[in-house]
Structure 1
Amino acid sequence: ASSVYFGLTHNQLIQRAVRVTTKPNDAISLIIPDKDIYYQIAKNQQLNILTTELTPDYELDINLILEQIKKEDSKVIVFSSPHYPTANQLKEEDVLALARETEVPLIVDESYVEFGKYSLVNQVQKFDNLTVVRSFSKAWGLGAFSSAFLVSNAKNIEILKENYII
């Protein structure tokens, strides 16, 4: 079974991944600041938006996020890394700790990963809850040829395929 799912844009793929993991009135965890599109996706899906600020060093506050997930019953976490507004790539060990410490789906937008130090693509088979979304239109300069892909374990890809015509 394949671990890759293609789409027109990374935003479309994030929206699809969020849609198959939530239903209206579920909670979504977002990091602030981050891309506005995540808020638009959440509003379009009629989700309750939970936010967690980055630390003063622009890193994930793992304990605060985990506490929020448990307290508010968040169904999905979405953020970018490299982090779009700050140009800071979140610490790999923090992202992996978050994936390890919760079963909540974790969608990481790596549309600017070519400007970072690492990618989580090679980690998706180790975590059932980890999904990575990449884009060809940023660093590859293919803005006129919008194309993106999502990488996750085969089970998650099958769920996407069952819910969307490809």
Structure 2
Amino acid sequence: MSYFRPAIDAMTGYVPGEQPKPGTKIIKLNTNENPYPPSPDALNILRNLDSEWLRRYPDPFAREFCAAVSEALGVPADWIIVGNGSDDVLNVLVRACAEGGDRKVVYPMPTYVLYRTLAAMQPAEVVEVPYPQDFTLPIDDLVAANGAITFIASPNSPSGHSVPLDDLRTLARRVAGIVAIDEAYVDFAESSALPLVQEFENVIVLRTLSKGYSLAGLRMGFAVAHPKLLAGLFKVKDSYNIDAIATLVGAAAMRDQAYKNACAEKVKISRAKLTVDLKNLGFTVLDSQGNFVLATPPEGNAEQLYLGLKERGILVRYFKQPGLDNKLRISVGTDEQNQTLIEALVSLLK
């Protein structure tokens, strides 16, 4: 006898990247964390926190944070929903909109595999549309799949490519359901799809503070959409899904755009150097708009290199699945960390 619903028995849970214990001497380039510390303004909030914020329940709508997002991005505060990481908002979206065989979840592959996990929990039918080799958006196939939600990660992980705004606009115009544009890595990209929320009632753009703002441990994310779309999502979200500390720290980080942009610029410069260094070792490296690169080793022996790096105290991400099992996704670290990685790869390739 099982204690669980058939959908839960049948599904495979999401497997996060390996997280070593704090203080472990390791170079961690496997989960796309920002190598630089959070904004000093955000850290000052923690140092001076009034205990009253812990005694009381938090604002269920994180309005202080919404005001900071509104100031930073120029969107109305009532067009914002806040989540315990953008994964929380993804979960709310699927719970609110996808169901059974008719209200499907659709996305191009390869992409963020949590979309599949969330759909399986409902359960909702999934349609995975393969990306072509050049990673152009397969618009016709995505439209034909007729999803209640069509997820597009842009920049996409693990490929690192961004989807052109005109392609996203065409998709939003042609589908009947929601287009959810996951911009987790947008702070390292050259463009954003945020203007589309003003054009289309069925578009929602998701963001996180985990990457660009160096706050992966805080679990703070949000989405921007027309209030008519958000109204259904507010019914589904947990009543107090964002704690008071996250609201205050996140607001301070959001208001320090200059610091975030300076750190993102350092990552972009390091990304370019890392790409050149890997190519010089014979790797094939896709152009990336994220804080990571997807690299194919010259011998295609990605798993062997992943294990060899791990033995040397360097973690990168290896996906044992078709189309990715000959590749490594490598987060961009500091220049020093990247150089240590390159030296280790030189040794392993010999």
TM-score, with length taken from structure 1: 0.91
Tell me which amino acid in the other structure corresponds to 2:205: V
Would you tell me which structure has more strand in proportion to its own residues? 1
Alpha-carbon distance in structure 1 between the residues aligned to 2:194 and 2:80: 10
What is aligned with 1:56?
A: 133
* Alignment counterpart, residue 124 of structure 2, candidates 27, 40, 47: 47
Alpha-carbon distance in structure 1 between the residues aligned to 2:91 and 2:148: 14
Alpha-carbon distance in structure 2 between the residues aligned to 1:163 and 1:68: 25
* Alignment counterpart, residue 12 of structure 1, candidates 78, 85, 88: 88
Deviation at 1:103, TM superposition (A): 2.1
SS in 2 for 1:12: helix
Unpaired stretches in structure 1, ≥5 consecutive residues: none
- 1:151 partnered with 2:227: no
* Alignment counterpart, residue 191 of structure 2, candidates 118, 126, 133: 118
Alpha-carbon distance in structure 2 between the residues aligned to 1:64 and 1:24: 20
Q: 1:14-45, CA deviations, whole angstroms, 9 ceiling, x for partnerless residues?
A: 11012111223332112110011111111111
What is aligned with 1:92?
A: 165
Alpha-carbon distance in structure 2 between the residues aligned to 1:41 and 1:85: 18
SS in 1 for 2:108: strand
Alpha-carbon distance in structure 1 between the residues aligned to 2:149 and 2:206: 14
The structure whose RCO (Cα within 8 Å, separation 6+) is larger is 1
Deviation at 1:64, TM superposition (A): 1.7
The answer on whether the counterparts of 2:98 and 2:119 sit within 8 Å (CA) in structure 1 is no
CA RMSD, Structure 1 to Structure 2 (Å)? 1.4
What is aligned with 1:83?
A: 156
SS in 2 for 1:2: helix
- 1:127 partnered with 2:200: yes
Unpaired stretches in structure 2, ≥5 consecutive residues: 1-76, 241-350
SS in 1 for 2:151: strand
Deviation at 1:53, TM superposition (A): 1.0
Alpha-carbon distance in structure 2 between the residues aligned to 1:68 and 1:162: 27
What is aligned with 1:2?
A: 78
What is the aligned residue count?
Answer: 162
Deviation at 1:3, TM superposition (A): 0.4
Alpha-carbon distance in structure 1 between the residues aligned to 2:159 and 2:215: 23
Which of the pair has more CA radius of gyration? 2
What is aligned with 2:111?
A: 34
The answer on whether the counterparts of 2:107 and 2:142 sit within 8 Å (CA) in structure 1 is no
Mean CA deviation greater in 20-29 or 45-54: 20-29
Deviation at 1:130, TM superposition (A): 0.3
Would you tell me which structure has more helix in proportion to its own residues? 2
Tell me which amino acid in the other structure corresponds to 1:83: N
Q: 1:111-155, CA deviations, whole angstroms, 9 ceiling, x for partnerless residues?
A: 000111211222202101101110001121111212000110011
Alpha-carbon distance in structure 2 between the residues aligned to 1:89 and 1:143: 22
Tell me which amino acid in the other structure corresponds to 2:99: K
Alpha-carbon distance in structure 2 between the residues aligned to 1:18 and 1:117: 28
